[in-house]
Structure 1
Amino acid sequence: MDEHSAANGDESESDGKALRRGWTTGTCATAAARAACEALFTGRFPDPVTVTLPGGQTPAFALAWSETGDSWAAAGVVKDAGDDPDVTHGALVRARVWRAEPGQGVVFRAGEGVGTVTRPGLPVPVGEPAINPVPRAMIRQAVAEAAALAGQPADVVVEVSVENGEALARRTMNPRLGIVGGLSILGTTGIVVPYSCAAWIASIHRGVDVARAAGLTHVAACTGDTSEKAVVARYGLPDHALLDMGDFVGGTLKYLRSHPVPRLTLCGGFAKFGKLARGLMDLHSKRNSVDLDWLADRLAELGAGPEVTTQARTANTAAQVLGIAAEAGLPLADRVAALAQDAALGVLEGAPVDVEVLVTDRQGNIVGKADWRGP
């Protein structure tokens, strides 16, 4: 994912230390485009340059780079993602502008390091630069403001680029979504909230959209690399059928409820799906922990005696409980898969989605499963 975005304000960690918010690539591109447009129209770069965010905030940005040529101007802003672990933090986001034909308005181009959309289902059409709708609206507004101040028509080409963007994009979900050549220019509010996970969940949604637009009838939502490799080995699914769900099973299922795909394989590790089996929809270890007593109770339901259930209750990890169940010859992973399937179908609320659940161990072996079941 490129960045996280949400509303303005302060974000705090659980220990009370404030986390610093930052700016989306869309905001940085808007600031660069506004500065470049003023230079194109007036011959002067505003520094700092002020932009208006969708929520009405008006932050100012120092220019990190500027240049002019024959009938064009360009400016760059260094992205500050605050305290978010954002792959684009510190990247130079640039906009180069020149006049378009009268009446064309703002025309967008993908410069170096900005991707191009190659698959349907994303918020912008195939063949267009991967500049999302809200950043496009922000840039249009910034161009209009600069043009009005100079008494010029707002007909310009805006080429957005990101230094080293193609390499950075390989660390995001863009290749899987069919965005080639670089990053997406993202943002809905213009502000990055640390650890909000909004961008990750949005990427899951876009993955579903791309799969549906491609006519796929089977997708797999996996908790990580290990489980994803297990699904690929089992089914040979194409890359755009794989949803990098991570811990966000709730966000995945809720979106599939209103945007169904006929067949959904859920694949994840025993510990994480032990949480899903309890009805938990956020599988992150910091927000929901493994319940060894619950696993021991499931072993008892499968016929385990007091000695086995006591071993499970006093185990150190879920993996250790899985080993205890295997030694006792009890299909605990199958039981977890079945209960996880029940929980998933409950969230889907009768949507036309058949669900299969595969449970893996730490080595990626499928150790439990619940066969296909629908509404």
Structure 2
Amino acid sequence: MKQLRSGYTTGACAAAGVKAALLYEQGEDWDSIELRALDGTELLIPVKNIVKDERGITAEVVKFSGDDPDITNGVSVFTTIRHLEAATPEIVFKAGQGIGTVTKPGLSVPVGEPSINPGPRQLIRNVVAEVLGTDKISLEVTISIPAGVELAKQTLNPILGVEGGISVIGTTGVLRPMSEEGFKNSLVPQIDVAKAAGFDALIFVPGKIGERLAGKWHLPAQAMVQTSNFIGFMLEAAQQREIKRVLLFGHIGKLIKVAAGCFYTHNRIADGRLETMAAYGAAEGLSTREVQAVLSANTTEDALAVLERAGLKSRVCQRLAERASLRAERYLFQKMQVGTVMVTMTGELLGMDETAQAICKELGGEVPVGNAE
């Protein structure tokens, strides 16, 4: 098996840039920086260039993500240092081009601050103390990632309230190729932001279909949380943060898996959609021939047509919605209320349990007239 390569985070790039700039200032070699990550890992980070001008000393480090599919791999991270004359000796962090600013509470840095997370800030303090003997110094550190303006559109930053670019992240400085774990953890701050906005009932949308249709129901966007395939992981994260109620809102093809007890819904891991629909259809009176037609369908939407011809679509989908909520609450050991709304791609309401109705009402949502209940 191929050994996957580790890389270094944007935070480590910035810290290496600060160290390189300080070494340059002292007339020392700066082109290859030894950096101790916060977990003790020793990193060797090349520095592409250093420029001194009226703004200060700017170092350029090219991000290397190893074998992790990180969207910032290969981008340039520019770090500019400038000594200040200030009464209080402290390091001041500034957002340059492509670095976002926090505009909503609930994240790891306060509103109004550049979105430079605590890990990178500590790495930078460490290298300042290493080179200068102390981090109690009046120093301005500006981080810029020009490509971040466009890259931010591929992240959750717009939802989280980080405006103007990407975040400088990393808990240790080492980027290990565990993209799934990293992606899961990147979803969780949505819960913190929604909770900080005053919501203790949230809307979990596994994909764009649920997000779009929940918006048409006038459900608040600030309470919406994208879960991707990690529904179980996100439910646990919400429960740990003492969220009271969660509304699962999405396409039947995704949420029917929850009804079957599958909480990681990637199609290569859990794809018993048709089998689940066939079983519930049979329980409601679907004939053997019709069960076979469901099992032979290409998609859940095709299978729904079989249920509709049998006059069972509303009943079966209602049971599936109720079952999804039941299985989710059981998954959480009854520590949180869960309601479920299942819809089609076109927005038809297929199933909605009583808890879901209550959560919708609490959040000010409006159930479209004329849809199934």
TM-score grouping bracket, smaller chain normalisation: 0.7 to 0.9
Note if contact 2:17-2:78 (Cα within 8 Å) is conserved in structure 1: yes
Q: Deviations over 1:224-260 (max 9, x none)?
A: 111110111012413x221111111112110111223
Give the counterpart letter for 2:147 in structure 1.
N
Match of 1:176 among 148, 155, 159: 159
Give the corresponding residue for 1:8. none
1:307 partnered with 2:292: no
Which residue number in structure 2 is paired with residue 104 of structure 1? 89
Contact persistence 2:125–2:135 (CA under 8 A) = no
In structure 2, what is the Cα distance between the partners aligned to 1:81 and 1:305? 54
Pick one of 231, 239, 256 that aligns with 1:257: 239
Deviation at 1:154, TM superposition (A): 4.3
Q: Is the 8 A contact 2:160 2:193 kept in 1?
A: yes
Q: Which amino acid aligns with 1:145?
A: E
In the TM superposition, what is the alpha-carbon distance from 1:153 to its structure 2 partner?
A: 6.3
The answer for the alignment partner of 1:202 in structure 2 is 185
Contact 2:89 2:136 in 1 (8 A): no
The answer for the alignment partner of 2:65 in structure 1 is 81
* Residues 290 and 318 in structure 1, CA contact (< 8 A), matched pair in contact too: no
Say if 1:271 and 1:290, in contact at 8 Å, map to a contact too.
Answer: no
Q: Partner of 1:170: helix, strand, or coil?
A: helix
Counterparts of residues 94-173 of structure 1 (less than 5 Å): 94-100=78-84, 101=86, 103-148=88-133, 154-173=137-156
Say how many residue pairs are matched. 355
| 1:185 alignment partner, one of 153, 159, 168 | 168
Instruction: Assess if the C-alpha contact under 8 Å between 2:23 and 2:30 holds in 1.
Output: yes
Q: Secondary structure at the match of 1:286?
A: coil
Q: For 1:252 and 1:262, how far apart are their aligned partners in 2?
A: 14
The equivalent of 1:49 in structure 2 is 33
Kept in 1: contact 2:258–2:327 (CA 8 A): yes
- Normalising by structure 2, what TM-score? 0.87
Superposed CA offset, 1:32-56 (max 9, x none): 121112223x034511112111221
1:322-353 Cα deviation digits (max 9, x unpaired): 222222221332222111111221233343x4
**Cα 1:364–1:83 shift into 2, 3 Å:** farther
| Counterpart for residue 286 of structure 1 | 268
Query: Which one has more relative contact order, counting CA pairs under 8 Å at least 6 apart?
Result: 1
Q: In the alignment, is the contact (CA less than 8 A) between 1:92 and 1:162 conserved in 2?
A: yes
Which residue type is aligned with residue 10 of structure 2? T
| Preserved CA contact (<8 Å) 1:322 1:332 | no
Structure 1 distance, partners of 2:257, 2:276, is 10
Report the alpha carbon displacement of residue 29 of structure 1 after superposing the two structures with TM: 1.4
In structure 1, stretches of 5+ residues that fail to align are 1-15
The answer on whether the counterparts of 1:266 and 1:355 sit within 8 Å (CA) in structure 2 is yes
Q: 1:163 to 1:44 in 2, by over 3 A?
A: farther
**Equivalent in the alignment of 2:306:** 324
1:9 corresponds to: none
**TM-score, normalised by the number of residues in structure 1:** 0.87
- 1:93 and 2:84 equivalent? no
Equivalent AA in structure 2 for residue 168 of structure 1: L
Q: Tell me how far apart the structure 2 counterparts of residues 26 and 190 of structure 1 sit (CA, whole Å).
A: 6
**Preserved contact between residue 128 and residue 135 of structure 2 (Cα < 8 Å):** no
Change (3 A) 1:317 1:190: same
Tell me if structure 1 keeps the 8 A contact 2:88–2:138.
yes
Cα pair 1:257 1:349 within 8 Å, conserved: no
Corresponding residue number in structure 2 for 1:68: 52
Q: Find the aligned partners of 2:147 and 2:101 in 1 and give their Cα distance.
A: 15
Match of residue 217 from structure 2: 234
CA contact (8 A) 2:31 2:48 kept: no
